[in-house]
Structure 1
Amino acid sequence: MHLHGDWSGSALDRDPVAADVGPFPRRGFLEVWRAHRGSGELLLADDGRVALPLRRGRGGIVIAGEEDLTDYHCPLGGGLADLVAFGEALGAALTPGTRFRLDSLPGEVAVPLAEGLAAAGVAVAPAPHQAAAVLALPADYETYLGGLRAKDRHEIRRKRRRFTDALGEPHLVSGPGGFGAFVEMHRASEGPKGEFMGEEMAGFFEDLLGVDGALLSLLMCGGAAVAAAFGFEDDGVYYLYNSAYDPRFGSASPGVTLVDRLIAAAIGGGKRRFDFLKGDESYKFRMGAVPRPLFVLEGAA
C-alpha cells in the first residue's frame, strides 16, 4: 500500500468499483473540488489495483470531497472482490491512533472495506449515513406516470396544469449559456438557499461545467427562464445535483415541473435511472424514487 500526496498518476483515472456513482469519485470532479474546496493534506491510498483519494485534517483522515457536496464516495479500480485486501492494506498503513471517517459509501463497498479493516485489527462496522434517492426509468413517460401512486400521479398532473395555465407550455434548453440565470435564481431565493451561491460557490459550479457529463438545463416558457437544473449524465443515468427557480414564478409550481420535464427527458434519452442524489426531501419519493442507503466507516487505527 502506498499512501502519498501525488494525484498526477493514472490511479485517479480508474473506474469506480461500484456502479452508478456519477462523477463524484472521479478525477474531473475531485480536481475541481480540490481547486476550490480542498484543504488539509491531500493523499492517495493505492495498492496497485484499488485507489482512494483522501484528505488529512485536524480531525483525522476522510475521503476527498466534503460530504455536503460529494454525493457518492467510492474507491477506484479493481472490483468488489479486491476491496477486502485494499481495506486490510489501508488499515495497516494508517499510523496507530489515526482517526478516520469514510462516508457516503454504497453498501456493496462499505461491507468489504470494513471486513478488510477488521483483518488489519481496525474494528469498524458500516453505519447508516444518508441515502440517495433513485428512480428506475421505464421505456416511456406514460408508463412512468402509471407506475406512481394514484395520489402522486394526480398531484404531478395538477401541478403541470397549474404551470401551463399560468405560464404556457414549458420546454428544456440545455447548455452552459444558462449558468448566469442558474446563479441568479439561487441568489434571488430566500433563506439559506439564497445565501448558498456566493462567489466562491459560483466559481466551483462554473468549473464543474467542464466535468465530463455536466449538464445545465433551463426550464423555459415564453422566452423566459423559469427554473434551472445542474446535473450530470452518463450512458445510463441522469444525476440531479442542484436546482433553483425564479421566485417570481413560485406559485406556478416550477420546481415540480422542472423535475417532471427532466425525468421525461431522461426517459426520452434512453436513461435507465434518474438519481436525485442525497437527501430525504419528500418530493423525491412522491415522484417514484426509492432510497439507496449509504454508509460510513468511522473509527481509529
Structure 2
Amino acid sequence: MSPSTPPGAGTTLGTRAPVARVTSMRIVPFEALTGEELDAWHRLRAANPQLDSPYFHPGFAAAVHRSGRSVEVVLGRDEQSEIRALLPTHRNGGLLRPAGWPGADFQGPVLTPSTVFPPLKLLAGGARGFAFDHLLHSYPDFAPWVESTLPSPYVDTSGGLDGYLGRASRSGKDNMGQARRRAAKAEREYGTLRFAADVVDDEALRRVVELKRAQYAETGVRDFFAEPDRLALLSGLLHGRGADFGGVLSTVHAGRHLIAAHFGLRAGSVLHWWFPVYDPAFAALSPGWILLRELIAASARLGITRIDFGRGDDEYKRRAKTGETWVCQGVVTRSAIRRALRRSRNRLIDTARSSALGPGLRRAVRTIRGINR
C-alpha cells in the first residue's frame, strides 16, 4: 500500500482511464464460492498493489466465516460475465458491512485499479445501505458517499531496525533509543528479556485478550471481545495459518513476566498491527515500545517490509510512523434521512474531539466511534 494524500489536500480521490466495468452483481455465501471465483480473488488482489493488506486476502474472510459470523461475497461481473470485483460482507437486516467489521481496518472491493465499480448496485436484494469506516481512499467510485477521511499510519521496516532509524522521525528515533535502555533495565530488574516474533501459544493469546478487555473497560470503548465469535476468530487465525496468510502472535517476557504482546495479521510482507497489549504493572518500562522495537529489528529475517498500524490517533502511532495511507468513512445509500443522521453524528464527534473540555468528551468520542464502527 503506497503512501497517499487525503482528499482535500491538493488531490482528489483519483482518476483513471476505465478498462473494465462491473455491470452486474450477485451475492453468494462464502462457502459457495467456486475454485474459479477464489482464483479470481487472488488474481485481482495481486494485480492491485493497494490491496496488499491482509484484510483483502480471502483467508481473512474465510477465517471470519469459520468463526461463526456469516460472510456473503458480492461478485461483480462485466458484460462478458468475467469476474471483475469481489466484496466480502456481513448482512445486518438491510445494512451491509465489510466482512470482519468492526475489526476490519482496511475495507473495499477487490478489483484492479482500472475497474469501474458502481456502489449503488450493492443496494439490491433487500440491502438499503453499505456502511464503511475504513475504506481505502483509492476508490473513486465511492467518493459521493464519503463523509470523512482519516490517516492510517504505517512503519516501513525495509532494512530492519537500521533501515527504520534511517527514515524515522526524531521522535521515533528517540523512542527506539529509550526502548533499548528500558529493555536493559527490565533485564536488570526482572530477568532475561525474551522476544518471540511468531509463536503459537494459547495461554499467551488468552492473556492478550484479557489485557485488551481490561483496556477497553478502562477507556470506555466498546468491548470487541464481548462477542464469543471474536475469540474463535483469533484462535482460528493463530492455528489455521497458511503459507501466505495467517495470525501472528509476538511476545516479550522479562524473566517469568509477560510484559507485552501483540496479535496481528500477516499476508506476504505486510503485518497488520491489530491487538497490541502490555501489562500495566510494567508501564514504567514502556513495554509496548520494547515489543515494537524488537519486531522491527526482526522484520528483515521475517520477510516483513511494512507494519500497518491502522487508523487511530494514538500517540505512539504518530511518533513511530514513517508514512500513512488514508481511509474513509461513510455509507452508500439512497436515503437522505440516513445520510442526514450520520452527518449529525459526525458533527457531534468533531465537536467533542476539538472541545476544550478535554478528556471527558474525548472519551465520548471513543464511545461513539465504537458504537458506529
Give the TM-score of the pair, scaled to structure 1: 0.80
State the 1:270 CA deviation.
4.3
State the 1:265 CA deviation.
1.2
Can you list the C-alpha shifts for 1:224-279, whole angstroms capped at 9, x where unaligned? 43221112333332221112223332222111101111111114434332211232
Equivalent residue, structure 2, for 1:202: 231
Equivalent residue, structure 1, for 2:290: 257
- What CA distance in whole angstroms lies between the structure 2 residues aligned with 1:99 and 1:172? 45
Equivalent residue, structure 1, for 2:26: 3
Equivalent residue, structure 1, for 2:272: 239
Q: Paired residue for 2:106, among 66, 72, 97?
A: 72
Equivalent residue, structure 2, for 1:221: 254
State the 1:217 CA deviation.
1.2
- What CA distance in whole angstroms lies between the structure 2 residues aligned with 1:149 and 1:174? 24
Equivalent residue, structure 1, for 2:327: 294
State the 1:186 CA deviation.
3.9
Equivalent residue, structure 2, for 1:119: none
Distance change in 2, residues 1:180/1:197 (3 Å): farther
- What CA distance in whole angstroms lies between the structure 2 residues aligned with 1:181 and 1:97? 40
State the 1:63 CA deviation.
2.5
- What CA distance in whole angstroms lies between the structure 2 residues aligned with 1:250 and 1:221? 13
- What CA distance in whole angstroms lies between the structure 1 residues aligned with 2:227 and 2:95? 29
User: SS of 1:49's equivalent?
Assistant: strand
Distance change in 2, residues 1:267/1:80 (3 Å): same
Equivalenced residues, count? 284
Equivalent residue, structure 2, for 1:192: 216
Equivalent residue, structure 1, for 2:156: 136
% same residue: 22
- What CA distance in whole angstroms lies between the structure 2 residues aligned with 1:107 and 1:191? 30
State the 1:293 CA deviation.
0.6
Equivalent residue, structure 1, for 2:120: 91
Is 1:29 equivalent to 2:60 in the alignment?
A: yes
User: How is 1:89-168 mapped onto 2 (pairs within 5 angstroms)?
Assistant: 91-92=120-121, 94-95=123-124, 98-108=128-138, 110-111=139-140, 113-114=141-142, 124-168=144-188
For residue 114 of structure 1, what is the amino acid of its counterpart?
F
For residue 61 of structure 1, what is the amino acid of its counterpart?
L
The answer (yes or no) to whether the contact 2:260–2:291 under 8 Å persists in 1 is yes
Give the TM-score of the pair, scaled to structure 2: 0.66
The answer (yes or no) to whether the contact 1:175–1:215 under 8 Å persists in 2 is yes
- What CA distance in whole angstroms lies between the structure 1 residues aligned with 2:257 and 2:184? 14
For residue 105 of structure 2, what is the amino acid of its counterpart?
D
Distance change in 2, residues 1:181/1:141 (3 Å): same
| Greater mean alpha carbon deviation, residues 98-107 or residues 202-211 | 98-107
Is 1:173 equivalent to 2:196 in the alignment?
A: yes
- What CA distance in whole angstroms lies between the structure 2 residues aligned with 1:158 and 1:43? 46
For residue 157 of structure 1, what is the amino acid of its counterpart?
G
Distance change in 2, residues 1:38/1:99 (3 Å): same
User: SS of 1:154's equivalent?
Assistant: helix
Superposition RMSD in Å: 3.0
The answer (yes or no) to whether the contact 1:12–1:76 under 8 Å persists in 2 is no
Distance change in 2, residues 1:18/1:281 (3 Å): same
Unpaired runs of 5+ in structure 1? Answer: 116-123
Distance change in 2, residues 1:215/1:228 (3 Å): same
Distance change in 2, residues 1:139/1:245 (3 Å): same
The answer (yes or no) to whether the contact 1:215–1:233 under 8 Å persists in 2 is yes
For residue 215 of structure 1, what is the amino acid of its counterpart?
V
Distance change in 2, residues 1:193/1:218 (3 Å): farther
User: SS of 2:175's equivalent?
Assistant: helix
State the 1:207 CA deviation.
1.0
For residue 184 of structure 1, what is the amino acid of its counterpart?
R
State the 1:43 CA deviation.
4.6
For residue 275 of structure 1, what is the amino acid of its counterpart?
D
- What CA distance in whole angstroms lies between the structure 1 residues aligned with 2:171 and 2:99? 41
Unpaired runs of 5+ in structure 2? Answer: 1-23, 78-82, 335-373
Equivalent residue, structure 1, for 2:17: none
- What CA distance in whole angstroms lies between the structure 1 residues aligned with 2:103 and 2:257? 29
Can you list the C-alpha shifts for 1:175-209, whole angstroms capped at 9, x where unaligned? 44323123224425644268654582322211121
Q: Paired residue for 2:76, among 32, 46, 49?
A: 46
